[in-house]
Amino acid sequence: MTYILKPQLHHPNLPTNARGFTRRDYEGSVSTLCAGCGHDSISSAIIQAAFELNLPPHRIAKLSGIGCSSKTPDYFMGASHGFNTVHGRMPSVLTGANLANKDLIYLGVSGDGDSASIGLGQFAHAVRRGVNMLYIVENNGVYGLTKGQFSATSDKGSKSKKGVVNHDAGIDLVGLALQLGATYVGRSFSGDKAQLVPLIKAGLAHKGAAFIDVISPCVQFNNHVGSTKSFDYVREHNEAVNRLDLIPAHASIKVDYAPGETVMVTQHDGSVLSLHKLAELYDPSDRAAALGFLQSRQAQGEIVTGLLYVDPEAGDLHDALDTVATPLNALDGAALVPGAKALDAINASLR
Amino acid sequence: MQRTSAWTPDYFHKVVDCQFACPAHTPVPEYIRLIADGRYSDAYMVNWKSNVFPGILGRTCDRPCEPACRRGRVEEEPVAICRLKRVAADNKDDITARLPAPADKSNGKRVAMIGAGPASLTVARDLAPLGYEITLFDGDAKAGGMIRSQIPRFRLPESVIDEEVGYITGLGMTLRLGERIDSLKALLAEGYDAIFIGSGAPRGRDLDLPGREEARANIHIGIDWLSSVSFGHIEKIGRRVIVLGGGNTAMDCCRTSRRLGGEDVKVIVRSGFEEMKASAWEKEDAIHEDIPILNFRVPTAFTHEAGKLTGVWFEVVRAEIDAKGRRKLVPSGEPDEHYDCDDVLVAVGQENAFPWMERGIGMEFDEWDMPKVDTITMQSTIPNVFFGGDAAFGPKNIIWAVAHGHDAAVSIDKFCQGQDVTERPPPDFSLVSQKMGIHEWSYDNDIANDRRYRVPQREKAVVLKDVKMEVELGFDPATGYKEAERCLNCDVQTVFADNLCIECDACEDICPVDCITFTVETDETDLRTRLKAPALNLDQDLYVSGALGTGRVMVKDEDVCLHCGLCAERCPTGAWDMQRFTLEMTHAGAACQSR
Ligand SMILES: Cc1cc2nc3c(=O)[nH]c(=O)nc-3n(C[C@H](O)[C@H](O)[C@H](O)COP(=O)(O)OP(=O)(O)OC[C@H]3O[C@@H](n4cnc5c(N)ncnc54)[C@H](O)[C@@H]3O)c2cc1C
Ligand SMILES: Cc1ncc(C[n+]2csc(CCOP(=O)(O)OP(=O)(O)O)c2C)c(N)n1
Ligand code: SF4
Ligand code: SF4
Ligand code: SF4
Ligand SMILES: [Mg+2]
């Protein structure tokens, strides 16, 4: 952990975005995580993504649970809304917030313990309801904050720092999210910002439940030989199926790759996902095939990364509930209390 | 691209921009830290060793270090390096016990020095403690050279000159003041083992224009007039004064005039305001004293009536870039202008003059009629005659005179010990880790956000009444501390160990100024464009590691690194370390002798 504040001085040529903000304006307070923690790299990728997307900081809500990963919202976008829930309860608080004000951009940040152990049920329901959010799990295979116990995503056979072998089967959150109906699913690695930043940008732009599993080595408790979440292991077994670029709505589309190798997917908001195929035959619009591909590669010890599934036409919880256009928290007294006559009419219609 | 050969003193020295730019290579961040610590005497001695005149330079230095200061590239203004030196000088204790002791016995070698300015005094300081028998000649009655004769007292009190010149003359030497050398040949015949010529550039240029002769009583050569003021021979000037010229001498002339009765004092200069030779702060001080600076005006004639000067005619010009891209002054076509005045001070340049140096005694001269002097050894074509300061390569400034003095002292020492003067031992250096704990360093790595502090000045109405009253008050210790905290500690270097890096990106992520990039290696030109922040300042080096685990390399652009140590704090493996770089310049004595 670092005691000094990050200096305000910045590079003289630091670019500004369309809102006049520099990347550094999207920073938060200095991280108190262990030096070298993968989570810090993810924070840095989120900062970069928000900067590139010209996001208005005051329109973003960051929610998290408990854990080293869940502490990170403090370390980015210091000018945005934040909520630290109790352990594993971020999804329901996020769902509630989203119901109350659907106009904010919701970013859920969680850990593998927070989401796959104590919070598994919460995770499942937020995803299956299609809450409009980007849900990021910073997955290090351990409970970092409580000193390195195996978490539910730890692979069977993986060794702890002390040499104990994990005998429980690991939960694959990507597989789970696919089964639960997430409409945007990706996996990435904290050490590969070239892949991670566009994934986060497209996830933030996606309407519906977007989920990214980011493998994020815990340098303190899970970065040794025998771990399947170490820098070295992930680098050796990383199999990226595609490279993603997010092309903002109305921007002219230029693609360097040969035709046929690139798939263009236009999202709801008009932004275009330009997907450069790395694995032949991989089709990110086929949910069932994605599941099969993932499982077969996983059996071979590979870690599949990239944009694994996207449904650009997806709707969200508000569509399903057919709520009014105005965010619920902005409805005035007259709209919320329509009066006795309106009540009579409703009652009459139910008789 | 080649891997950075980081383990050479040159690479790290260059990172310390101020020290690198200082002709005497004063360890600036080192003394600034000592000032912040309140260790003024220690800070003074660090300076004294390098630049010999901390109190004088802390008020008058041309400060080549400040435009080089890294702070000036990350915010608006550099650290007030020069005026911090004065803080050390003003607040130190009695340091006489820390000065070298006069040598107990002679080493049998006799060295004569012509001129007792900063160049000669530096040579004398370096050689006297080694046992050299030194004789200092100066035509003036007191030692100090132009520091005493030219620099006005309101910028530099005489007590400071007496103190710092005294530290040197107290080291044991024979002073032959008031004695002008009028023959080098005769001096050579006196059998000195070596002679050092530090006689300066004593001749002020004149302006040979119509009316110059007739109005001579009221037209003065700037440097002659300034020395007459310094020595008390002149105490008054007319009410309306025109100063011709745009250098620092012109600024001293106009400000001095304001104190000797000049009410309507103007500086009129050929060039544009921006191109004037005077330092920005000198111009600022002149303007503050109600002295207008009129630019793009070339004097054409002096007007006079009954043998008395009445004014000056000027042609109005403008700057034009010619076909070869050079700036030229061409007539603007506007009508000529006449300015009335009672006195004119001509400050249009300074020249060397060696009327006392005979031809045919072995001294070779170049095409400009200047003695040929080696730029490294300071040796002339007479092997035992050495030069330094303004006498060597034309008028410069005090800190260059000091730097020449150190180099000449090394040469004289080697020469007198029968060694090859061209063999120059490199400076010694060390790199020492500053780590005290996981996030604790032995230097203050927290970056202050303060903007540059202004040095307080005495009230204008008061200082304009007395030519000897110092204008600047100097920083008080509290402000000195705050200004010192602006220093980025560029001598605390970021040192990278390839074999320890696990490529976690933590350093790249935390760096507040985007210095660090992990990328594939290409040639430098390409690499510079592909960094997290493109490295556009070609004067600043790239620090490039060897191949890391993934095959990439670490590239650090030194340009705007804040030396905040966050990269090292966030590195899980200690691959980055903050190490203090010390450079030990080779001065005369044991270090410069061949081993
Ligand atoms: C008006 C003015 C203001 C200046 N202000 C600054 C300033 O603020 N900061 C700065 O860094 N520099 C300043 N300078 C420049 C600086 O003073 C000189 O660069 C510096 O003093 C040169 O040092 P030196 O040792 O080479 O010679 P000098 O200081 O010129 O000393 C030479 C000495 O040699 C003596 N001498 C010459 N010939 C003989 C002889 N034949 N026999 C015996 N003695 C002889 C002279 O009397 C003189 O004392 C200023 C110069 C002028 C003219
Ligand atoms: C209700 C509750 N149970 C247990 C804990 C103890 N606890 C704190 S963090 C944590 C695990 C966090 O693991 P993860 O989400 O993977 O975060 P990491 O630290 O690895 O990033 C646990 C079990 C708690 N804070 N609250
Ligand atoms: S314990 Fe692990 S997860 Fe937590 S901050 Fe340290 S390295 Fe990161
Ligand atoms: S010391 Fe390290 S973190 Fe700080 S500015 Fe320099 S390279 Fe960046
Ligand atoms: S923080 Fe250290 S280990 Fe990590 S990339 Fe930087 S130098 Fe390498
Ligand atoms: Mg975890």
In a domain, residue B556? The reply is no
Per-residue pLDDT tens over the stretch B156-182 = 999 999 999 999 999 999 999 999 999
The DSSP output letter for B175 is E
A267 Cα distance to chain centroid: 17
As a whole number, mean pLDDT of residues B431-453 equals: 93
Q: Which of B74, B550, B566 sits opposite A12 (nearest CB)?
A: B74
Shared domain for B283 and B242, answered yes or no, is yes
Shared domain for B308 and B377, answered yes or no, is no
Per-residue pLDDT tens over the stretch B518-576 = 999 999 999 999 999 999 999 999 999 999 999 999 999 999 999 999 999 999 999 99
In this prediction, residue B45 has a pLDDT band, given cuts at 50, 70 and 90, of: very high
Q: How many helices (H) and strands (E) does chain B have?
A: 22, 24
Alpha carbon distances (Å) from B405 to B124, B126, B340, B376, B386: 8, 8, 45, 11, 10
| Token representation of residue B484 | 């010192």
Angle at B129 (CA atoms; ends B127, B133), nearest 5 degrees: 60
In contact, B576 and B495? CB cutoff 8 Å: yes
Which protein residues are within 6 Å of ligand 1, measured from CB?
A: B 60-62, 114-120, 137-140, 145-147, 150-151, 180-181, 198-200, 202, 223, 226, 248-249, 252, 356, 389-391, 395-399, 401
Whose structure tokens read 């652009």? Answer: B557
Whose structure tokens read 């020290």? Answer: B19
CB–CB contact B504 A10 (8 Å): no
Domains of chain A: 23-321 (3.40.50.970)
In a domain, residue B298? The reply is yes
**Which residues of chain B does A1 touch, with a Cβ-Cβ cutoff of 8 Å?**
438-439
**H or E, element range at A112:** helix A112-112
**Which residues of chain A does B566 touch, with a Cβ-Cβ cutoff of 8 Å?**
2, 4, 6
Whose structure tokens read 């991280």? Answer: A31
As a whole number, mean pLDDT of residues B334-353 equals: 96
Q: What's the pLDDT score for residue B2?
A: 55
As a whole number, mean pLDDT of residues B268-295 equals: 96
Q: What's the pLDDT score for residue B3?
A: 59
Shared domain for B197 and B258, answered yes or no, is no
Alpha carbon distances (Å) from A36 to A139, A161, A197, B517: 15, 17, 19, 15
Boundary-marking domain end, from B392, B416, B440: B416
Q: Where are the alpha helices (DSSP H) in B128-247?
A: 146-149, 158-169, 184-189, 222-230
Q: Is the dihedral of CA B183, B184, B188, B193 positive or negative?
A: positive
Q: What is the CATH number of the domain that holds B273?
A: 3.50.50.60
Q: Is A6 on the interface with B (CB under 8 A)?
A: yes
Cβ-in-10-Å burial (0-12, 13-18, 19+) of B370 comes to middle
Please check the confidence at residue B346 and state whether its pLDDT lies above 90. Answer: yes
Q: Which of A9, A36, A235 sits opposite B562 (nearest CB)?
A: A9
In this prediction, residue B197 has a pLDDT band, given cuts at 50, 70 and 90, of: very high
In contact, B555 and B542? CB cutoff 8 Å: yes
Neighbours of ion ligand 6 (CB under 5 A): A 111-113, 140, 144
β-sheet with B553-557: strand ranges across:
B516-519, B553-557, B542-544
Q: Is the CB of A220 under 6 A from ligand 3?
A: yes
Per-residue pLDDT tens over the stretch A226-285 = 999 999 999 999 999 988 988 887 776 665 555 567 788 888 888 888 888 877 778 899
- Long-range CB pairs of A159-163 (<8 Å, 24+ gap) are A159/A224, A159/A225, A159/A226, A159/A227, A160/A221, A160/A222, A160/A227, A161/A221, A161/A222, A161/A224, A161/A227, A163/A226
Boundary-marking domain end, from B312, B330, B350: B350
Q: What's the pLDDT score for residue B6?
A: 57
Boundary-marking domain end, from B298, B330, B350: B350
CA dihedral of residues B2, B6, B8, B13 (deg, nearest 10) = 110
| Token representation of residue B152 | 């006005």
Alpha carbon distances (Å) from A82 to A29, A106, B511, B563: 13, 10, 25, 32
How many C-beta atoms surround the C-beta of residue B140 within 10 A? Answer: 20
Q: Atom 8 of ligand 5 has which residue's CA nearest to it?
A: B501
Shared domain for B264 and B327, answered yes or no, is yes
How many C-beta atoms surround the C-beta of residue A199 within 10 A? Answer: 28
B297 Cα distance to chain centroid: 30
Whose structure tokens read 């520091």? Answer: B147
In a domain, residue B345? The reply is yes
In a domain, residue B526? The reply is no
Alpha carbon distances (Å) from A27 to A9, A75, A258, B54: 13, 7, 37, 43
As a whole number, mean pLDDT of residues B212-225 equals: 96
d(CA B575, CA B435): 13
Reduced DSSP (H G I as helix, E B as strand, rest coil) percent helix, strand, coil of chain A, to 5: 35, 20, 45
Bridge-based pairing state of the strands A209-215 and A184-189: parallel
Choosing among B449, B489, B505, B550, which should be mutated to test the A contact, i.e. which has the most A CBs within 10 A? B505
CA dihedral of residues B159, B165, B171, B177 (deg, nearest 10) = -110
Shared domain for B196 and B171, answered yes or no, is yes
Bridge-based pairing state of the strands A272-277 and B133-138: unpaired
Radius of gyration of chain B (CA): 26
Shared domain for B233 and B310, answered yes or no, is yes
Q: Atom 27 of ligand 1 has which residue's CA nearest to it?
A: B200
Which residue segment(s) compose the domain that B170 sits in?
100-202+352-416
Shared domain for B220 and B335, answered yes or no, is yes
Give the start-end residues of each E strand in B39-148: 110-114, 133-138
**H or E, element range at B297:** strand B297-305
Q: What's the pLDDT score for residue A253?
A: 61
Q: What's the pLDDT score for residue A260?
A: 60
d(CA A141, CA A159): 11
- Those residues with Cβ within 8 angstroms of residue A99's Cβ, 6 or more apart along the chain or in another chain: A317, A318, A323, A328
Per-residue pLDDT tens over the stretch B55-74 = 999 999 999 999 999 999 99
**Which residues of chain B does A217 touch, with a Cβ-Cβ cutoff of 8 Å?**
504
In contact, A50 and A25? CB cutoff 8 Å: no
Average pLDDT, chain A: 94
Bridge-based pairing state of the strands A105-111 and A81-84: unpaired
Please check the confidence at residue A11 and state whether its pLDDT lies above 60. Answer: yes
In a domain, residue B501? The reply is no
CB–CB contact A9 B75 (8 Å): yes
Residue B386 — φ and ψ, nearest 5°? -120, 155
Percent of all residues in chain A with a pLDDT value above 90, rounded to a whole number: 85
Q: Atom 4 of ligand 5 has which residue's CA nearest to it?
A: B504
In this prediction, residue B7 has a pLDDT band, given cuts at 50, 70 and 90, of: low
Residue A325 — φ and ψ, nearest 5°? -65, -40
Per-residue pLDDT tens over the stretch A34-86 = 999 999 999 999 999 999 999 999 999 999 999 999 999 999 999 999 999 99
Number of domains making up chain B: 2
As a whole number, mean pLDDT of residues A194-212 equals: 97
- Those residues with Cβ within 8 angstroms of residue A2's Cβ, 6 or more apart along the chain or in another chain: A30, A31, A32, B439, B566, B569, B570
Angle at B503 (CA atoms; ends B499, B504), nearest 5 degrees: 135
Per-residue pLDDT tens over the stretch B361-396 = 999 999 999 999 999 999 999 999 999 999 999 999
In a domain, residue B93? The reply is no
Shared domain for B160 and B224, answered yes or no, is no
Per-residue pLDDT tens over the stretch B476-535 = 999 999 999 999 999 999 999 999 999 999 999 999 999 999 999 999 999 999 999 999
Shared domain for B121 and B221, answered yes or no, is no
Q: What's the pLDDT score for residue B305?
A: 95
| Token representation of residue B312 | 């000056």
Alpha carbon distances (Å) from B292 to A306, B266, B283: 68, 5, 10
Shared domain for B213 and B244, answered yes or no, is yes
**H or E, element range at A210:** strand A209-215
CA dihedral of residues B389, B394, B396, B400 (deg, nearest 10) = -30
| Token representation of residue A79 | 């000018």
In a domain, residue B284? The reply is yes
As a whole number, mean pLDDT of residues A138-158 equals: 97
As a whole number, mean pLDDT of residues A21-25 equals: 96
Shared domain for B132 and B154, answered yes or no, is yes
| Token representation of residue B25 | 């290579």
Shared domain for B209 and B329, answered yes or no, is yes
In a domain, residue B39? The reply is no
Amino acid present at B429: F
d(CA B203, CA B206): 9
Q: Which residue of B has its CA nearest to A30?
A: B510
